[in-house]
Amino acid sequence: MAVAMEPEAYLDMAAVEARHWWFRGRRRILEATIRRLNLKPGARILELGSGTGGNFSFLSQFGAVTAVEMNETARAISAGQPGGATVLAGFLPDNLPLADQRFDLICMFDVLEHVEQDEATLAVLRERLAPGGHAVITVPAYQALFGPHDVALHHKRRYERAELAEKCATAGLAVQKLTFMNMGLAPVAFLLRWLDRKLKRAQATGTQIPPAPINAILTGIFGAEAWLLPAINLPFGLSLLAVVKPSE
């Protein structure tokens, strides 16, 4: 079962995710990734751990969106988001209110690291994929970077590339693509995380929205990977992006 963030954290998330460079850049990458899957018209899409619904608008371009979120505050906030998603209460891995429904696309964007039983969650994801369906998963990279930001967000872990690949395979998921992302800003982030630890800061550096010009530059640097990732896999970065499907 996942551990929910505090309600205040969801309110903070809702306030910043429309503008913060990290959310904006990630959405560009995810939209480009999903577009390359060539989903059929009217595709059935499921977002697990949908938070405050900031992804509904772009996901709804590709089909009908159903979302599952365990936190009542987050569900209430997401009810007002554009995209027309159906938002249900539930949690991973053993309380999904979906009966025997199957989906053409399942999304877990920075969710798996919150769940104690991550392998069981990946197995459930595999069971919910329709024939020919895909899942798109993002997680934070490198356990060595685990710090105040992860603690504040109730992360259980960060992931190594080989570890995520192995857990997907164990769950019956074939990896179609597995790459790092947010490579351009990683060197600066590595330094800032080291300083956070060295200075024993209670809050990680960089969580607030920077001034508009800096925010735009950072969005551009991160979001530019939407053009790179279809062609190559990045050798390092702050996050991992996986596209998987059921094993044959």
State which residues form the domain around 71.
7-246
Secondary structure class of 52 (helix, strand, coil): coil
| Total domains present in the chain | 1
Contact predicate 46/106, CB 8 Å: yes
**C-alpha distances out from residue 46 to 23, 69, 228, Å:** 19, 11, 26
Note the pTM of the prediction, 2 decimals. Answer: 0.91
Residue-level pLDDT at 1? 44
pLDDT tens column, 67-103: 999 988 889 888 888 888 999 999 999 899 988 899 9
Q: What is the DSSP letter of 76?
A: H
Q: Kindly state the DSSP code that residue 97 receives in the 8-state scheme.
A: S
Q: Is 242 helix (H, G, I), strand (E, B) or coil?
A: strand
**CA nearest to 65, candidates 89, 83, 81:** 83
Q: Are strands 129-140 and 239-246 parallel, antiparallel or unpaired?
A: antiparallel
Tell which residue, 161, 201, 56, has the closest CA to residue 193: 201
Question: In this structure, is residue 98 part of a structural domain?
Answer: yes
Domain membership of residue 165 (yes or no) is yes
The domain that holds 242 is classified in CATH as: 3.40.50.150
How far is it, in rounded angstroms, from Cα 50 to Cα 68?
6
Inside any domain, residue 1: no
Residue 85 lies in a domain: yes
Task: Convert the pLDDT of each residue in 121-170 to its tens digit.
Answer: 999 999 999 999 999 999 999 998 888 778 878 899 999 999 999 999 99
Determine, yes or no, domain membership for 2.
Answer: no
Residue 25 has which token pair?
Answer: 């850049």
Is there a domain that residue 169 lies in?
yes
Question: Which of 1, 125, 15, 10 has the alpha carbon at shortest distance from 71?
Answer: 10
26-46: average pLDDT:
96
What percent of the chain is predicted at pLDDT more than 90?
68
Any domain includes 34 = yes
